[in-house]
Amino acid sequence: MAKGGKRYWFKFYNNFFDNEKIKQIKRRKDGDRLIVIFIHCLAIAANCESGGYLKISENKFFTIETLAHHMSRNQESIRIALDIFREIA
């Protein structure tokens, strides 16, 4: 994760919402909430500096519990979102 106030960024293309997988997510129940969780995962991964993996440290990955805590969401919302992302990937 970013330390000492250092900020990281990731490219967010202007055609993000034209991607067919993103369209599939948006069509789901609570699609907008799912997109917010997806973008939040992108931001977390960018801060991790681990090649896109959601890692807390070199050998420790985010879990549903830690993602829920980090995003201030309930675990069930995160679990459902991750299941949908895996299904569409």
pLDDT at position 1 over 60: no
| Residue spans per domain, the chain | 19-88
What pLDDT shows up at residue 29? 93
What pLDDT shows up at residue 82? 96
User: What is the C-alpha to C-alpha distance for residues 54 and 62, in angstroms, rounded to an integer?
Assistant: 6
pLDDT at position 2 over 70: no
Strands (E), the chain: 55-57, 60-61
Q: What pairing do the DSSP bridges indicate for beta strands 60-61 and 55-57?
A: antiparallel
- Per-residue model confidence as pLDDT tens digits over 9-29: 778 889 999 999 999 999 999
What pLDDT shows up at residue 6? 67
